[in-house]
Amino acid sequence: MKIASVETFDLRCDIEPSFGWSQGWIDQRATTLVKITTEDGLVGWGEGAAASIIDELLAPLIIGGDPMQRASLWERMFHALYNANIFVGLAGSALSAIDIALWDLTGKATGLPAHALLGGKVRDRVAVYATGLYYTEGEFPNRLLDEARCYVEQGFTGMKTKVGGLTVEEDVRRVRALRETIGPDVRLMVDANEAYNATTAIRIGHKLADLDLMWFEEPVNAQDIEAYLQVKDALPMAIAGGENLRTRFEFKDYLARRAYDIAQPDIMHCGGITEMARICSMANAYGIQVNPHVWGSPIMIAATLHLTATLPPCPTARDPQPYAQEPVMEFDRTPSAIRQQVCSEPFDQRDSHIQVPEGPGLGIEVDEYVVRNLSI
């Protein structure tokens, strides 16, 4: 079996209402999908970014190769990115897209789900929390608090909101209102998307300290390990990060120096299933929980579910629980055609869990008609 073609699709869709976070305001969602086809017509799908890097640099390296040799093809692509040190940026996302598609292809060729190819799952379903509660026009307090109540009614046991887009005082008031609305038993997390320096992150963290936050995500610049350590040492809640790091080489020091309490690799950026499995093993060895970052189409959701299903508890326990030893996965709730229409059967949660797919490969059916309609 040989790879015959690699095709990329840059997808865009309008979103309503538009929303914002600390680094901007958007009225569109976007992602890049890759379709790999073998000579005998098997198709694998992946998701990442940087279609031009896929088309011009990586695709020529794998066409004619055996998609079952995932590790070899990963290393071939990584080597092409290594000397110029471009694997740390968008090129890492391009590599991720191809890698995910190769796992999908291998599963379809063998009739096995990706989690079986990884060694088998240790859980049939993965705990999830709701990601939403963004900044929107005229949102506070009614729309924001109504959205939070809706997540509670849907059965979510946790949810995440944004900070860093308003003044410290305004954000504290917003988060405090959310805690009062959802009550003490629903987990609440905040995400600054790198909005603060260490001093300001510590300041707002102290103001939020009485709200029993599960974690404070990306409080400072993703590349500033010293700031992460400073914030982690000063605050009582867990500190999370890692969605913007590529490969185990960028994660290495953050894990070894315990700059994170919770690592959040993103499968469509960190190097795909192959590399994220390595990162998760490193984190587990250091006793650092992995709660994956997920913000894309059903392709990346499926890939993340398969890998997360195989992760051992951290640490091992007789009855491991989500948020304590079991991994918890982000589940985006913002309306988007990319998330809701690309797959013939979109993922949904029940009791704050998503069932792990059992079909071959990623175990999903991609609607190529929708993909082509959303392509720019």
Annotated catalytic residues are 293
Angle at 145 between CA 140 and CA 147, to 5 degrees: 110
Closest CA to 352 of 374, 329, 373: 329
φ/ψ of 163, rounded to 5, equals -135, 165
- What is the distance between the alpha carbons of residues 33 and 297, in angstroms, rounded to a whole number? 9
Closest CA to 288 of 321, 312, 304, 310: 312
Q: Which residue in this structure is represented by tokens 């890692």?
A: 242
* Burial annotation 213-239 (CB, 10 A radius, 16+ → b, else e): bbbbbbbbbbeebebbbbbbeebebbb
- What is the distance between the alpha carbons of residues 163 and 190, in angstroms, rounded to a whole number? 6
- What is the distance between the alpha carbons of residues 134 and 297, in angstroms, rounded to a whole number? 19
217-222: long-range contacts at Cβ-Cβ below 8 A with a sequence spacing of 24 or more?
A: 217/160, 217/189, 217/190, 217/191, 217/192, 217/193, 217/241, 217/264, 218/191, 218/192, 218/193, 218/194, 218/243, 218/244, 219/192, 219/194, 219/195, 220/192, 220/194, 220/196, 221/194, 222/194
